[in-house]
């Protein structure tokens, strides 16, 4: 009897984690392995799948130009949104750091888009940026020639980036604000007494104190910007041409719309490798952060 | 020779007032910048098609109409999409909790062989985005003939690796003595979880549930790739369809649908913005 209870006690933790482990195996790890495996096959729904080695990779990098376009656009999107979200986030955090009613309201309004569906935000901005939308009406009011925002290959990616920055800024300002507030006030006061000046105080005290948090956000933002999909599909459909195509949208089109699974999986594997490298960096940073505390 | 100049108090005061005035104006500008798109959505949704394209634009509809809402609910049968969204939110969140809590509990309070390995697997899974797994998962459900159901939108979404991690961190802070004394009182594991662990992790649970509810309600990518018929599509997909409902883009229709999608989020935020912001700030800093 006692032995039975003992075995049950030993089994208990495994019973508790097994649903999690099964779900992870079926819906995370198997699909990943399967994707890498399929990337070596010429595979679509019509033909039998045949092994083709690295052919898919050769095709997406050297023959088809749309993958390269999507890749480059993703890099531009990443650089632009990451830089502006961190920079503006920091500006707003420092600007709104005093506790006042007005600041709290501004902060809330800025944060709200974060919990809204990306779809809702994309549609609102698509309407604002429409050829007959409000932005162009305002431009027309000042006698400026209307822009084609999402319908022009020179501005489409930029417009998508503006919306992403608008949507995300409140979250990053919020996080940076709470790290600004965690800087010991004595440090700032001491600098004040020494007549250090606001700019010097910022560069010598505030910025160095925030740098671990900034670096952490930099990595998260970099990883997240590789996953951009909703806004691109909804607002521009990757166009005009491939001017605002991004990696995930490319993978989506090749798998769900063109049924070219082999190519889509090769593209996915490239994305996986990039994310893997970034994730290793991310965990190194987290490890360091814990170490310093 | 430099002379020490006495600061002119009046000038300093004027400067300070001017800068706080400018700062206030700028802040007002920021508020408008973030509130206006939502206001414009609401305003457009009550306009007639003609008024929505009128130049110069009207800030608030002169010809106030509910036509867009009527069109949206009649022509698209928004109700059935809405029902799917509600089912998905409830099912995903409930199943997530059922799977997450026991796992977080044993990861926090038990020692067993393979625990570290399993936990690192969990952390790796947390970093894998759905945009890499959807191809294989879609094929899996197609093979199992399950695409004509809500399961493809439920099963892959109920294992919340990040939630398990957050909850474990919280559970670990609960003193061992509490659990020991409960065991001496012959409490079983179920009672320990529901009477001790969960009540002490209320705010973490609230955060995770909030993220799951909004995440499911807002999700667009996953329902897009995991459904083949309208019968099982949630509200987000329906709203996108509004763009092609009538010939030409009728923005009042799209904005009306958009408001239906955003309304619950707006209401929740109006009542709990302070709590939501506090928990997000905490989560980000961690």
**DSSP state, residue B150:** S
CB-based contact B137:B152 (threshold 8 Å):
yes
User: Rounded distance, CA A44 to CA A38, Å?
Assistant: 10
CB-based contact B81:B238 (threshold 8 Å):
yes
DSSP lists the bridge partners of residue A41 as: A51
A48 occurs within a structural domain: no
- The residue ranking higher by pLDDT, A212 or B103, is B103
| Averaged confidence pLDDT in chain A | 87
Q: Using the predicted structure, report yes or no on whether residue B277 has a pLDDT greater than 70.
A: yes
CA distance A62 to chain B (A): 22
Token pair of B17, please?
């007032």
Residue A58: CB atoms within 10 Å: 13
DSSP secondary structure string, A74-105?
HHHHHHHHHHHHHHHHHHHHHHT-S--HHHHH
Q: Does A44 touch chain B (CB under 8 A)?
A: no
pLDDT in tens, A184-211: 888 877 877 777 777 888 888 888 888 8
Q: Using the predicted structure, report yes or no on whether residue B266 has a pLDDT greater than 90.
A: yes
CA distance A63 to chain B (A): 23
Using CA atoms, how far residue B37 sits from A110, A126, B265, in Å, is 12, 11, 15
CB-based contact A109:B35 (threshold 8 Å):
yes
Is A135 exposed, middle or buried (CB count within 10 Å of its CB: 0-12, 13-18, 19+)?
Answer: middle
* Residues B14-25, mean pLDDT to the nearest whole number: 86
Q: What confidence category does residue B242 fall into, taking pLDDT thresholds of 50, 70 and 90? A: confident
Q: What percent of chain B has pLDDT over 90?
A: 48
**How do beta strands A50-51 and A41-42 pair?**
antiparallel
* Residues A96-101, mean pLDDT to the nearest whole number: 84
CA distance A23 to chain B (A): 6
* Residues B111-135, mean pLDDT to the nearest whole number: 90
> Considering only CB atoms, which chain B residues are within 8 Å of A166?
33-34
Pick among 3.60.10.10, 1.20.810.10, 1.10.3720.10, 1.10.3080.10: CATH of B78-244: 1.10.3720.10
CB-based contact A259:A211 (threshold 8 Å):
no
CA distance A277 to chain B (A): 11
CB-based contact B153:B226 (threshold 8 Å):
yes
Q: What confidence category does residue B285 fall into, taking pLDDT thresholds of 50, 70 and 90? A: low
Beta-carbon separation of A17 and B107 below 8 A: yes
A26 occurs within a structural domain: no
Beta-carbon separation of A230 and B221 below 8 A: yes
> Considering only CB atoms, which chain B residues are within 8 Å of A14?
112
Q: Which residue of B has its CA nearest to A286?
A: B286
pLDDT of residue A187: 80
**DSSP state, residue B192:** I
Using CA atoms, how far residue B158 sits from A18, A138, B180, in Å, is 14, 46, 31
Q: Which of A100, A117, A146, A164 has the most B C-beta neighbours within 10 Å, making it the best mutation to test the interface with B?
A: A117
Q: Using the predicted structure, report yes or no on whether residue B1 has a pLDDT greater than 50.
A: no
Binding-face residues of A in 1-40 toward B, CB within 8 A:
10, 12-14, 16-17, 19-21, 23-24, 26-32, 34-35, 38
Q: Which of A146, A157, A169, A138 is nearest to A249 (CA)?
A: A157
Number of structural domains chain A divides into: 1
Q: What confidence category does residue A293 fall into, taking pLDDT thresholds of 50, 70 and 90? A: very low
DSSP secondary structure string, chain A?
-HHHHHHHHHHHHHHHHHHHHHHHIIIIIHHHHHHHHHTTEE-BSSSPPEE-TTHHHHIIIII-HHHHHHHHHHHHHHHHHHHHHHHHHHHHHHHT-S--HHHHHHHHHHHGGGGS-HHHHHHHHHHHTSTTSHHHHHHHHTTPPPP-GGGSTTTHHHHHHHHHHHHHHHHHHHHHHHHHHTS-HHHHHHHHHTT--HHHHIIIIIHHHHHHHHHHHHHHHHHHHTT--HHHHHHTTT-STTTT--HHHHHHIIIIIS-BHHHHHHHHHHHHHHHHHHHHHHHHHHHHHHHH-
- The residue ranking higher by pLDDT, A171 or A195, is A171
A267 occurs within a structural domain: yes
Token pair of B179, please?
């659990």
Using CA atoms, how far residue A231 sits from A92, A219, B73, B79, B221, in Å, is 24, 21, 25, 25, 10
Beta-carbon separation of B41 and A174 below 8 A: no
The whole domain housing A83 covers 64-292
A39-A41-A45 Cα angle (round to 5)? 100
> Considering only CB atoms, which chain A residues are within 8 Å of B131?
227, 229, 248, 251-252, 268, 271
CA distance B236 to chain A (A): 7
Q: Using the predicted structure, report yes or no on whether residue A101 has a pLDDT greater than 90.
A: no
Q: Using the predicted structure, report yes or no on whether residue A231 has a pLDDT greater than 50.
A: yes
Across the interface, of A23, A182, A252, the residue whose CB is closest to B225 is: A252
Beta-carbon separation of A27 and B137 below 8 A: yes
Q: Which of B135, B227, B249 has the most A C-beta neighbours within 10 Å, making it the best mutation to test the interface with A?
A: B135
Beta-carbon separation of B281 and A177 below 8 A: yes
pLDDT in tens, A132-158: 888 888 888 888 888 888 888 888 999
Q: Does A214 touch chain B (CB under 8 A)?
A: no
Q: Using the predicted structure, report yes or no on whether residue A292 has a pLDDT greater than 60.
A: no
Q: What radius of gyration, in Å, describes the C-alpha atoms of chain B?
A: 26
| Axis-axis angle for helices B251-285, B67-75 (nearest 10) | 90
Q: Using the predicted structure, report yes or no on whether residue B286 has a pLDDT greater than 60.
A: no
A87 occurs within a structural domain: yes
A38 occurs within a structural domain: no
Q: What confidence category does residue A284 fall into, taking pLDDT thresholds of 50, 70 and 90? A: confident
pLDDT of residue A288: 66
Across the interface, of B112, B155, B280, the residue whose CB is closest to A171 is: B280
Weakest-pLDDT range from A21-35, A220-234, B209-223, B233-247? B233-247
A211 occurs within a structural domain: yes
* Residues B22-50, mean pLDDT to the nearest whole number: 92
Across the interface, of A134, A178, A234, the residue whose CB is closest to B40 is: A134
CATH number at residue A234: 1.10.3720.10
Beta-carbon separation of A116 and B57 below 8 A: no
Residue partners of A183: CB distance under 8 A and separation at least 6: A205, A206, A209, A210
Weakest-pLDDT range from B7-21, B87-101, B226-240? B7-21
CA distance B167 to chain A (A): 14
Beta-carbon separation of A256 and B225 below 8 A: yes
A9 occurs within a structural domain: no
Q: Which of B58, B159, B222, B259 has the most A C-beta neighbours within 10 Å, making it the best mutation to test the interface with A?
A: B159
Q: Which of A258, A249, A250 is nearest to A61 (CA)?
A: A250
B218-B219-B224 Cα angle (round to 5)? 135
CB-based contact B281:A213 (threshold 8 Å):
no
Question: Is the bond preceding residue A240 a cis peptide, omega within 30 degrees?
Answer: yes
Q: Using the predicted structure, report yes or no on whether residue A271 has a pLDDT greater than 70.
A: yes
**DSSP state, residue B46:** T
The residue behind tokens 């092994």 is A51
pLDDT of residue B243: 85
Q: Using the predicted structure, report yes or no on whether residue B113 has a pLDDT greater than 50.
A: yes
Token pair of B125, please?
């899974």
Q: Using the predicted structure, report yes or no on whether residue B223 has a pLDDT greater than 90.
A: yes
CA distance B157 to chain A (A): 9
pLDDT of residue A287: 67
pLDDT of residue B178: 87
A171 occurs within a structural domain: yes
* Residues B137-142, mean pLDDT to the nearest whole number: 92
pLDDT of residue B76: 82
Q: Does A175 touch chain B (CB under 8 A)?
A: yes
pLDDT of residue B93: 96
CA distance A154 to chain B (A): 23
């Amino acid at each position: 009897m006692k032995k039975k209870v003992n075995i049950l006690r030993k089994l208990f933790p495994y019973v508790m984690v097994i649903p999690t482990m099964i779900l992870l195996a079926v819906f995370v790890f198997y699909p990943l392995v399967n994707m890498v495996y399929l990337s070596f096959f010429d595979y679509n729904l019509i033909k039998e799948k045949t092994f083709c080695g690295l052919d898919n990779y050769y095709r997406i990098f050297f023959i088809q130009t749309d993958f390269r376009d999507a890749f480059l656009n993703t890099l531009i999107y990443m650089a632009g949104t990451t830089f502006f979200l961190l920079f503006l986030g920091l500006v707003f955090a420092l600007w709104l750091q005093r506790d006042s009613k007005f600041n709290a309201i501004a902060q809330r309004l800025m944060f709200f888009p974060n919990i809204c569906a990306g779809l809702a935000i994309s549609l609102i901005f698509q309407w604002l940026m429409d050829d007959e939308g409000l932005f162009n009406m305002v431009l027309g009011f000042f006698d400026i020639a209307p822009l084609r925002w999402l319908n022009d290959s020179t501005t489409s990616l930029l417009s998508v980036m503006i919306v992403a920055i608008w949507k995300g800024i409140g979250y990053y300002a919020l996080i940076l604000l709470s790290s600004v507030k965690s800087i010991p006030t004595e440090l700032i006061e001491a600098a004040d007494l020494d007549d250090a000046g606001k700019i010097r105080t910022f560069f010598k005290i505030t910025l160095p104190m925030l740098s671990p948090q900034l670096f952490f956000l930099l990595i998260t933002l970099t990883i997240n910007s590789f996953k951009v999909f909703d806004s691109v599909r909804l607002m521009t459909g990757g166009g005009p041409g491939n001017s605002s195509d991004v990696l995930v949208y490319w993978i989506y089109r090749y798998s769900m719309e063109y049924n070219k699974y082999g190519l889509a999986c090769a593209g996915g594997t490239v994305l996986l490798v990039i994310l893997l490298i970034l994730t290793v960096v991310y965990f190194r940073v987290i490890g360091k952060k814990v170490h310093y505390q | 020779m430099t002379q020490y100049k006495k600061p002119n108090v009046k000038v300093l005061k004027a400067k300070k007032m001017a800068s706080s005035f400018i700062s206030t104006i700028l802040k007002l500008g920021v508020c408008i910048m973030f509130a206006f798109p939502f206001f414009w959505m609401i305003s457009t949704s009550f306009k007639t098609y003609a008024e929505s394209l009128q130049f110069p634009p009207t800030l608030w509809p002169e010809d106030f109409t509910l036509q867009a809402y009527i069109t949206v609910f009649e022509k698209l049968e928004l109700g059935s999409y809405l029902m799917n969204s509600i089912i998905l939110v409830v099912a995903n969140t409930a199943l997530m909790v059922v799977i997450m809590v026991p796992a977080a509990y044993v990861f926090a309070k038990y020692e067993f062989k393979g625990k570290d390995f399993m936990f690192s697997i969990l952390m790796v899974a947390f970093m894998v985005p759905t945009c890499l797994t959807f191809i294989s998962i879609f094929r899996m459900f197609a093979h199992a003939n399950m695409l004509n159901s809500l399961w493809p939108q439920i099963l892959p979404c109920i294992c919340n690796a990040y939630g398990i991690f957050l909850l474990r961190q919280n559970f670990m802070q609960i003193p061992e003595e509490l659990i020991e004394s409960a065991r001496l009182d012959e409490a079983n594991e179920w009672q320990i979880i529901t009477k001790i662990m969960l009540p002490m992790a209320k705010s973490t649970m609230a955060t995770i549930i909030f993220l799951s509810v909004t995440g499911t309600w807002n999700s667009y990518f996953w329902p897009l790739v995991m459904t083949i018929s309208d019968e099982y599509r949630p509200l987000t997909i329906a709203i996108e369809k509004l763009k092609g409902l009538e010939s030409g883009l009728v923005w009042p229709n799209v904005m009306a649908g958009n408001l239906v999608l955003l309304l619950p989020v707006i209401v929740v935020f109006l009542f709990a913005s302070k709590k939501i912001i506090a928990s997000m700030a905490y989560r980000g800093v961690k």
